[in-house]
Amino acid sequence: MADHYEVLGVARDASTDEIKKAYRRLARQLHPDVNPGADASERFKSVTHAYDVLSDVKQRDNYDRGGNGRSGGGGGAGFDGNFGNFGDIFETFFGGGGSSRGPRSRRERGQDALIRVDLDLDEIIFGTHRELEVDTAIMCATCSGTCCQPGTAPVTCDICHGTGTIQRAVRSLLGNVMTSSPCGSCRGYGTIIATPCVTCQGQGRVRARRTVPVDIPAGVDTGLRLQMPGSGEAGPAGGPNGDLYLEMKVRHHDVFSRDGDDLLCTLEVPMTDAILGRSATVKALDGDIEVELRPGTQSAEIITVKDRGVTRLRGNGRGDLKVGVHVVTPTRLDHKERELIEAFAARHKAPVPALSAFQQGLFAKLRDRFRG
């Protein structure tokens, strides 16, 4: 007879867990349902017998002293009717034994929902309120989620008697193996809806359009998601609602753009105003602002108006409004205007034009200064 340790491929001082792991690995390879060959069947018998001996403390001790490994004597290398370790074999092939977890519940959590919310730039400065129309699943008002016609209730399944599972005996080389599977009559619920609600067809929920009030905080930005717990779809059979996620999308604005909590824009000023200086009132997203141009203002200068940007999402206060100056040079002059400009140039001895580092126009300079 082959040595049991060699059959399982373990050392003589192997632990119980090591022996168990080796047996499971070999049993999966050699079981007749997986490997129908005659050699595999004989090896499976030897592996099972070796494990049966070495997994029992008394039998292993007897085997190590030169015995045959059976405390009661008798029995060869085949099956001798001892199924003390049958639970290990069942666990190997049927996933954890034949114990039943009981019937499953009809009540399940509803699915989460995701919708996009389009916002204008001025709405995110201080936040806004929306009434969102959502197509979703809501609890059935007729049966209140019970799935049954009013005045009725689920009845116990007469096939599985409320357990939700059916046990069957399957013959194998190991003898009769008891297997459990969901009851086909009640689908594992243990009860049957004899008189389902006609409104929801026994689901406990229906599709409907509902209004969800939402307070959108100030400072949100494109891509940000807000979670509204319990505002998603209602679960089957009165199960709890899922969550509703709102994904923000801020629309493009023709004048203002956003840089974090700051707002950016460009102010075009005539050459004369840039030279002489001037105060101007311009419209912002949340009212008029006063812009002061100092004499000699240059293109790409930044005028910062404090606390007129976006309200901070996390924190206090607001960002700033940064106004980039663009000095507009006239392109068409009449005879009199040209004479005046020439007279100005004659009196104002400008330096000779010279080369400097390359710059990609006003917007590149503004970008660099905005970020500086």
Indicate the annotated binding residues for Zn(2+): 140, 143, 157, 160, 183, 186, 197, 200
- Binding site residue list: 140, 143, 157, 160, 183, 186, 197, 200
- What tokens were used for 117? 């919310």
Q: Dump the DSSP string for 35-62.
A: ---HHHHHHHHHHHHHHHHHTSHHHHHH
For the chain, strand residue ranges (E) read 113-119, 128-139, 155-156, 165-172, 175-182, 191-192, 205-216, 225-228, 244-250, 257-259, 262-270, 278-284, 287-293, 302-305, 321-328
Instruction: Give residue 5's region: left, alpha or beta (phi > 0; psi -120 to 50).
Output: alpha
> Which residues, at least 6 apart from 232, have a Cβ–Cβ distance to it below 8 Å?
110, 111, 112, 113, 136, 241, 242, 243, 244
> Which residues, at least 6 apart from 364, have a Cβ–Cβ distance to it below 8 Å?
none
> What is the C-alpha separation between 49 and 173, in angstroms, rounded?
13
- What tokens were used for 283? 């419209």
